[in-house]
Structure 1
Amino acid sequence: MAEGDIQPLRIGTRGSPLALAQAYETRKRLIENFPDLEAEGAIEICVLKTQGDMILDKSLMELGGKGLFTKELDTALLSDEVDICVHSMKDVPTWLPDGTVLPCNLPREDTNDAFIYKDDSVKRIEDIPDGSVIGTASLRRQAQLMAKNPTLKCVNFRGNVQTRLRKLDDGVVDATLLAIAGLKRMDMDGCATSILEWDEMLPAVAQGAIGIQCRDDDERSLKYLAALNHPETKACVDCERGFLEALDGNCKTPIAGQARIVDGKIMFRGLIAMPDGSKKFECESEGAIEEAAKIGREAGEGLKKEAGEEFFQRMVETSGQQVLGQITK
């Protein structure tokens, strides 16, 4: 590089509209904190295609669960093709490749799920007509839906937000659920029929959170990310991921977990269920913010003990049958 040339900060991202919105949000926050990065060529957006983006006719379970949307980004980071990677935190496995860290979470968006019904005539899950077809690739959503109404038929529903909404408009399904965070980031939250509270649909671990990863020896990137990190969001995400890690959770298992800070304490709520909603276990815990990860981990270990080994064995076996039996839409 010639003297005086700018060494760009290379941001790795998936190419979906939501992923790009998150990458540009990261760029905006970097420039706000480091005005020199506003110079032309100072930040470069590098779009990478992941396995999860390329194979849409199979469920996440059939493809192998977590890591489908991060492996190619990990490779690019370790190969020094990019400097940082922007992720939807719910897509990130609880383990990271050696040589990388995830020190930064941006301020969290609303974590709840949006319920979208074909003609907006139904606002609540309890009011969905028997036998309705619901488009979702999430076993977590499927389990909670079927716990309320076992006559519902959940079908595998993959693709970006725009693709899923188009399928809904085309009458492929009667309803679908999406994270309201993603809709808000793309200014599309107006399409939500209603927003589901935790009692109706407990969200996924780390839903609504953006995480930024870098190499553990990259002092320049670490400096940038330290300035962007939102400590409250990171504490909640660390708590939720501790819960997930204790349960060895991935896209193959119906697990939900959410933490929030109330009156200076971490308040956590978790759930595990059979894919058909026939049985579920729930827990609540609280504690000091600085012990966030420990609180989540202990909640997961407690739920694991309460449910018993046989439940988890049946949950994994049934998950395979449930997903493989779904119709791909």
Structure 2
Amino acid sequence: MPKGKPIIVGSRGSKLALTQTNWVISELKKLNPGVEFEIKKISTSGDKITDVPLSRLGGVGVFTKELEVALIKEKIDLAVHSAKDIPTEVSEKLTLGAMPKRVDPSDVLISAKNVTLERLPGNARIGTSSLRRKAQLLALRPDFEIVDLRGNLDTRLKKLEADDLDGIIVAHAGLIRIGYTGQISEIIPFEIMLPAVGQGSLGIEIRKDDERINKILSKMDDLHTRIAVEAERALLAKLQGGCQVPIGAHAKVLNDEVHLEAVICTLDGERTIRDSHKGPANQAAAVGNELAQRMLDNGGDKILQEIRQNFPKQMP
């Protein structure tokens, strides 16, 4: 690539995706003065199919596949993803060149009357497209009526009123990034709801053999974020989970150890397996694998088999 040629950055076209991508570019410009960047918007199958619950789409990479194809074909030089959307198995031609410092991975409640989950009325209608959120909500309050909610953040916020919902559940990180934190009714504690694997983090994907781009990204990598997300992704890979499976996990690095907590739930929230594990930070993947195996042995395998029978893959 000629030195003066702009670096082409692939991004989904939603407000949140573009905000994240523009932030990444702004940071990279500070770290690499004189380097120019250009955004190429790419629509993914997850963006195009908005009338089907995520759990019914099947397959993996519904928000990343088209960006990865563009990377491999050299139509873009890097792709900015929400880390929670990145499949646990990445093409051998690609790699995560950088993971910037994580933003709060918690889920939050935005309620019509600005009350907490505990104070919502009986049989409250809660909007979410996530089976993970649904299962943990029902584990807390079996009376909740869960309404499927798809679309970008602005769309979901509008549906709170338009669909007569009592509340919606979204990621705190997304609201932080687009400046909507004033609408939050409650930051949901991890004791009630563990987040999606990688939630709150960004993953910047590049071609594995692209030394120039790798060098440009290297200073943006946050080691603690990478270690924590590596542990979470190893757990998810071992459990063979995706959008169809109610799995929550959160890891953090304390001193030289990575601490990982995870949950597997039945769809109705009646049965949950929750466990934690810790180990050396430089063995994050092993910590994730070991915790996943323990959870499978303690009944997680049976729960996951039941769920997969309810959600056959409908898309490649």
TM-score bracket, shorter-length normalisation? over 0.9
Quote the residue 1:73 is aligned against.
67
Aligned-partner residue type, residue 57 of structure 1: D
Quote the residue 1:18 is aligned against.
16
Quote the residue 1:188 is aligned against.
180
CA contact (8 A) 1:130 1:151 kept: yes
Aligned-partner residue type, residue 159 of structure 1: G
Distance 1:310 1:107 in 2: 36
Any idea what the Cα deviations from partners look like across 1:300-321, whole Å, max 9, x if unmatched? 111111115433221323457x
Indicate yes or no: 2:245 matched with 1:253: yes
SS at match of 2:18: helix
Deviation, structure 1 residue 187: 0.7
SS at match of 1:159: coil
Any idea what the Cα deviations from partners look like across 1:222-252, whole Å, max 9, x if unmatched? 1112121111100000010011001000000
- Structure 1, 164-173 or 74-83: larger mean CA deviation: 164-173
Distance 2:30 2:8 in 1: 17
Deviation, structure 1 residue 151: 1.7
Deviation, structure 1 residue 261: 1.5
Indicate yes or no: 2:133 matched with 1:135: no
Aligned-partner residue type, residue 24 of structure 1: N
Aligned-partner residue type, residue 184 of structure 2: A
SS at match of 1:228: coil
Deviation, structure 1 residue 49: 0.4
CA contact (8 A) 1:273 1:315 kept: no
Deviation, structure 1 residue 288: 1.0
**Mapping 1:1-329, distance limit 5 Å:** 6-37=4-35, 42-120=36-114, 122-123=115-116, 125-307=117-299, 309-318=301-310
Alignment RMSD: 1.5
CA contact (8 A) 1:117 1:174 kept: yes
Aligned-partner residue type, residue 63 of structure 2: F
Any idea what the Cα deviations from partners look like across 1:39-60, whole Å, max 9, x if unmatched? xxx2111110001001111011
Distance 1:44 1:115 in 2: 35
SS at match of 1:85: strand
Deviation, structure 1 residue 171: 4.1
Aligned-partner residue type, residue 241 of structure 1: R
Point out where structure 2 has 5 or more consecutive residues left out of the alignment.
Answer: none
SS at match of 1:127: coil
CA contact (8 A) 2:56 2:311 kept: no
Distance 1:194 1:151 in 2: 19
CA contact (8 A) 2:71 2:206 kept: yes
- Percentage of identical aligned residues: 36
Distance 2:306 2:132 in 1: 16
Distance 1:192 1:240 in 2: 26
CA contact (8 A) 1:114 1:196 kept: yes
Aligned-partner residue type, residue 306 of structure 2: R
The number of residues matched between the two structures is: 312
Give the structure-2-normalised TM-score.
0.95
- Structure 1, 6-15 or 168-177: larger mean CA deviation: 168-177
SS at match of 2:219: helix
Give the structure-1-normalised TM-score.
0.92
Distance 2:203 2:272 in 1: 29
SS at match of 2:151: coil
Distance 1:80 1:44 in 2: 14
